[in-house]
Amino acid sequence: MRVTAGVYTSKGSVRHQNEDSFLCALEQGCGIENDGAEFSGSIETPLFFLVADGMGGHDCGDAASAFVIENMYNASKAAVEKKYVYNEDTLETLIKTIHVDLLKNGKERGTPKMGTTLTGILLQKDAPCAFLNAGDSRVYRMRNSFIQQLSRDDSLSSIMPEAAKNIITNAIGAGLQDFKLSCRFSPNFAVAKDYFLICSDGVHGFISDGDLEKLLIEKNNLQEGAKQIVETAISNDSNDNCTAMIVKIEE
């Protein structure tokens, strides 16, 4: 499986700092502004493509997202060295361990409610691939020029449409003792010519699915495409940090 990817992140036009973090294969981005990363290569060992949105309503959202991304980076390095293959149980165990460690870290900092979303995809060779989600960042897949939201928002508004959109019902850390990762493995999860978009709510909350589909179809290179999506969200009055990552499965 050969894959290319591009990611772009910005603090946006309202927030004073960027609390979004990302992992693009083995490239981390934590708290950076108006920057991104690219990846191109074969998937010989399990690699993650992830976006974490630190929860600004709680203390240390930037530290929470960076903590989770760093731990996922370390897990990726270990998987590369051991040629590890994940399944639903082992992936959930990994994320739950990071969740517990973040709860402990928050207590030690004196910020027990520090938390973050974590959303993205896992690609691995000769084994089912998957998406994973905790929170309200999103994973989309575009196949045959049709975009589909794969993740489901862990937010009160997904249950009660009249509720405020920023009330999260599941996240990593955030003082939550009852945590369950949403993930789905499938043999046909990622096939040639598929595109995946992984983005924080500062993006998808300000661009319709139809417009995201158009922006993906009109992209040039993937990092420029991710940048265009972020800049479109900001021009649409996004009031949050904005991160977009595009992953393409090559032929």
- Is the pLDDT assigned to residue 34 strictly greater than 90? no
What order of strands is seen across the sheet that includes strand 2-10? 35-42, 2-10, 242-249, 195-199, 138-143, 146-149
Residue 156: pLDDT band with limits 50, 70, 90: low
Who wins on pLDDT, 181 or 158? 181
- Is the pLDDT assigned to residue 23 strictly greater than 90? yes
What average pLDDT does the segment 186-192 reach?
95
Q: What is the pLDDT of residues 41-79, one digit of tens each?
A: 999 889 999 999 998 656 689 999 999 999 999 998 888
What average pLDDT does the segment 205-226 reach?
89
Structural domain harbouring 21 = 2-249
Number of folded domains that form the chain: 1
pLDDT score of 45: 87
What average pLDDT does the segment 136-141 reach?
96
**Whole-number mean pLDDT of the chain?**
90
pLDDT score of 155: 61
pLDDT score of 13: 83
What average pLDDT does the segment 106-131 reach?
93
Contacts of 242 (CB under 8 A, 6+ apart): 9, 10, 12, 20, 199, 200, 202, 203, 230, 233, 234
CA distance 98 to 94: 6
pLDDT score of 158: 57
Percent of all residues in the chain with a pLDDT value above 90, rounded to a whole number: 67
- Provide the token pair at 143: 């196949």
Residue 177 is part of a domain; what is its CATH number? 3.60.40.10
> CB neighbours (10 Å) of residue 69?
24
- Is the pLDDT assigned to residue 163 strictly greater than 80? no
Residue 130's SS3 state is strand
